[in-house]
Amino acid sequence: MERKTLFAQIESSSWAYFSSSDIFVFGVLRCLEGIAFSSIWPSAEAFVADRSGGGGLDRQVGLYSVAWSAGYTAGPFLMGAVLSVSSLVHAFILASILILFGLLAILTIRMPKGEPEPDPVEGDGRPRGVSGLAYIMIIWGFAMLTYYFLLPPYAVSVGVAASVAGYIVGSASGMRTLSFMLYGRFLRRNSVALGMILLLVSALIGWAFPGLFGFFAMAILFGSALGLLYAYALARMLELPSKGAGAGIFEAAIGFGQFLGPVTMGYVGFLFGSGSTFLALSVVAAASLPIAIRVGKNK
């Protein structure tokens, strides 16, 4: 299926949200949304590779990543502002209007006519270390949802106001966006090793300094780590002969990590306390650092 058509079909499915009033229907919509997201991410990433024309892929990945990260950062603030003065229905209506504009923009895209993608297991252009890149993204998904799910309640438990905890998490998203910008222009060489080091240090700070300034310092380093690891791994995966296969492997690895992270780290926190979650995350990052260094040398 042409990627532009796939985008349009997936985006249009979100219109059903604001008309749903039954919890069962809402649950079904959430399941469909999961299917949509699992389809649109690799499609969008392969589209970015298509548009790079075989050159400037790192820069294109950086710009693409800035776009989605900026949206993820701005969206909660925008919907929160709507909810503060109106209802949930109006928030979904606004989201649907934004989706409509996105859909219209998608339909205006002129996709280049190209040859069908080669078999993903064939070809000489395959970058080395695909399994290492997949591992890095498992750790990325593992760390990201561990942070976003478990840091806010941990921060509140040590006396940080709930609203401030939201700003802390938001600052991590902002730093992720900034690191995407820097990656597209400057930070390419050794960025995967640097990202893993930042992940390690940020987790240690969150464990050792459980307070307002410690959490903000953690957020700055953690968001930077997420940006560097994501952009590097995506650019390398999109160098596979089959860009769709590369993007699919990339997103599957993230999804697996996102499943493992909250489950395992949540259980660690249950057994040993919330702070131990981030100590355990630092151990995972330290164990992954040699792999990150080796992956970085494969470029």
Q: Which residues of the chain have pLDDT under 70?
A: 1-23, 26, 36, 52-55, 88, 110-128, 184-189, 298-299
* Statement to judge: residues 138 and 285 lie in one domain: yes
**Residue 277: its pLDDT value, please?**
94
- Look up the pTM and report it: 0.79
Structural domain contains residue 112: no
Question: 76 is written with which tokens?
Answer: 């909660």
128: phi > 0 → left, psi -120 to 50 → alpha, else beta; which? Answer: beta
Q: What is the pLDDT of residues 220-242, one digit of tens each?
A: 999 999 999 998 888 888 887 77
pLDDT of residue 17: 58
On whether both 152 and 202 belong to a single domain, the answer is yes
Q: What is the Cα–Cα distance from 272 to 114, expressed in whole angstroms?
A: 55
Residues 247, 134: one domain? yes
Please report whether residue 202 resides in a domain.
yes
Q: Can you tell me which residue has the tokens 């985006």?
A: 11
- Residue 227: count other Cβ atoms within 10 Å of its Cβ: 29
Looking at the structure of the chain, the number of domains it has is: 2
Residue 1: what pLDDT?
45
- CATH number assigned to the domain comprising residue 171: 1.20.1250.20
Regarding whether 291 and 236 lie in a shared domain, the answer is yes
Establish how many alpha carbons lie within 13 A of residue 3's alpha carbon, considering only the half-sphere containing its beta carbon. 23
Q: What is the pLDDT of residue 125?
A: 47
* Residue 144 and residue 265 share a domain: yes
Residue 97, domain extent: 3-107
Predicted pLDDT at 290: 94
At residue 16, the pLDDT reads: 58
Question: 273: which 2 tokens?
Answer: 């306390």
Residue 123 placed within a domain? no
Q: Identify whether residues 142 and 31 lie together within a single domain.
A: no
Whether residues 79 and 146 fall in one domain: no
> CA 60 to CA 29: how far, in whole Å?
32
CB atoms < 10 A from the CB of 131, how many?
Answer: 12
If DSSP states are collapsed to H, E and C, what string results for 252-297?
A: HHHHHHHHHHHHHHHHHHHHHCHHHHHHHHHHHHHHHHHHHHHHHC
Task: Write down the H helix ranges in the chain.
Answer: 3-12, 23-52, 57-85, 88-107, 130-157, 162-185, 191-208, 212-237, 243-272, 274-296
Q: How far apart are CA 121 and CA 63, in angstroms?
A: 29
CA 218 to chain centre: 18
pLDDT of residue 209: 94
Residue 31 lies in a domain: yes
**96 & 145 share domain:** no
In this structure, the answer to whether residues 142 and 288 fall within a common structural domain is yes
